[in-house]
Amino acid sequence: MAKYIINGGSALNGQFFVQGAKNAVLPLFAGALLTEEEDVIQNCPDLLDVDNMARILRSLGADVERHGNSVKIGGTLSSHEIPYGLAKELRSSIFLLGSVLARLKKAKVAYPGGCDIGLRPINIHLDAFRELGVKIEEYYGYIYCDATAMQGAPINFDYPSVGATENVMLLAATARGLTTISNAAREPEIEGLQDYLNLMGAKITGAGTPFITIEGVDSLHGAEYTTIPDRIVAGTYLMAGAICGGEIEVLGAKPSHLHALLSKLSKSGCKIKVNNDNIYLRSDKRIMPFDRVETQPYPGFPTDLQAPLCALASVANGNSMIIENIFETRFKHIPELIKMGAQIIVSGSVACIRGVEQLRGAEITAMDLRGGAALVLAGLNAKGTTIVNDVHHVERGYQNFEATLCSLGADIVKV
């Protein structure tokens, strides 16, 4: 398994363009299955998760071709079964249930895998499908769906699940009649999916608000769409700038998508400037602590940035409290940070962090995607050498992570 070797202590300086958003592009791939015509997805990040999604699409009969950051998807679906081996690699395979059902009126999918950050049930997806008239049976770890009697319906989510909102949009775009989603998730990736599906001929409004309306159309056609920038990747690099000191500029980002983080970083003493699609950060002293940060659905503080924030709070000048409200087991980076000298006490979903002056190098292991990125940030700050094992987790979401950090002045190699 690959690892990063990091010699910490260098400041980060320079600018770079942020990649397209993983969590936006995965549902777009599912959306491309809604038509046989060719779709072109631009600004598609080159990541393990995206490769795995492409493999699943091919196993269903679709043609998927990548040329640089542009991916073409088309072709007739020949299978309604998403294989177990591929689904367990990728949680987002669950989106394919909506798309395959919309196209073939039946689907078989294994329970999805993905990062081990919590129970991650799919009851909200399946309950909504039932409201839309889909018959569902579950046995031997597979879900069998029949959508021959599917039609639009009003749906109310108990919780604004990102994936369930996207899945219902994918299924209902071509269902007969009107579907409404109340208490929909409001993440920018959902607006991205709405824009893409509407370019394909769908009639969806309201994404970005808690109430989405989907007027079913008979069919969709091919379209070309540019993926939105990755707010979580942009946020991770900004925190890398804050933990190392220096001046960095993230180009091609959407600052409005990062409001919750930017206001925390400003309050902690970082100098932040926003100029159209660019975000500049300067950090020239030890940051102030974060009194209390709670992860929340968008526009609250994103759970995907909680782990990097823990690394940053570990070297703040005072005590911080970080509360993880979204996933049950998303603190696996904390024992590893403690090996590096961080002073953190966890009680349930609450982490109390007493900042130390500097972390110290250690051999540690990435347990999941964002937690792994947090350990890299910690290693960049630490005195001495840090070895981060199992960085394949990190590469599921960060394109050219170590090369980009090196271009900013970090001393990090992958072996």
How many Å apart are CA 353 and CA 309, to the nearest integer? 11
Q: Which is nearer to ligand EPU, 163 or 379 (CB)?
A: 163
Report which secondary-structure segment, H or E, holds 194: helix 188-199
Report which secondary-structure segment, H or E, holds 225: strand 224-226
64, 87, 203, 342 from 53: Cα distances, Å:
10, 9, 26, 37
CB nearest ligand EPU: which residue?
A: 163
Q: How far is the CB of 378 from ligand EPU (least distance, A)?
A: 18
Active-site option among 115, 145, 244, 270: 115
How many Å apart are CA 399 and CA 47, to the nearest integer? 6
Q: Which is nearer to ligand EPU, 3 or 370 (CB)?
A: 370
At position 303, the amino acid (one-letter code) is T
Q: Could you give the strand order of the β-sheet that contains 319-323, starting from the edge strand earlier in sequence?
A: 292-294, 319-323, 350-354, 343-347
Place of tokens 């990125």: 373
Q: Which is nearer to ligand EPU, 35 or 303 (CB)?
A: 303
Strand partners, 329: none
How many Å apart are CA 46 and CA 24, to the nearest integer? 13
**Contact residues: ligand EPU, CB under 6 A:** 23, 26, 91-92, 115, 118-125, 159, 161-164, 185, 302-304, 326-327, 369-370, 397
Q: Which is nearer to ligand EPU, 249 or 264 (CB)?
A: 264
Q: Which is nearer to ligand EPU, 61 or 121 (CB)?
A: 121
Q: Which residues contact 234 (CB under 8 A, 6 or more apart)?
A: 18, 250, 253, 258, 279
Q: How far is the CB of 215 from ligand EPU (least distance, A)?
A: 24
Q: How far is the CB of 301 from ligand EPU (least distance, A)?
A: 11
Spacing of C-alpha 20 from chain mean position: 11
Q: Which is nearer to ligand EPU, 12 or 143 (CB)?
A: 143
Q: How far is the CB of 122 from ligand EPU (least distance, A)?
A: 4
Q: How far is the CB of 305 from ligand EPU (least distance, A)?
A: 10
115 noted as active-site residue: yes
List Cβ<8 Å contacts ≥24 apart for 348-352.
349/323, 349/324, 349/325, 350/321, 350/322, 350/323, 351/310, 351/321, 351/322, 351/323, 351/324, 352/319, 352/320, 352/321
The dihedral over CA atoms of 118, 124, 129, 130, expressed in degrees to the nearest 10, equals 120
Catalytic residues: 115
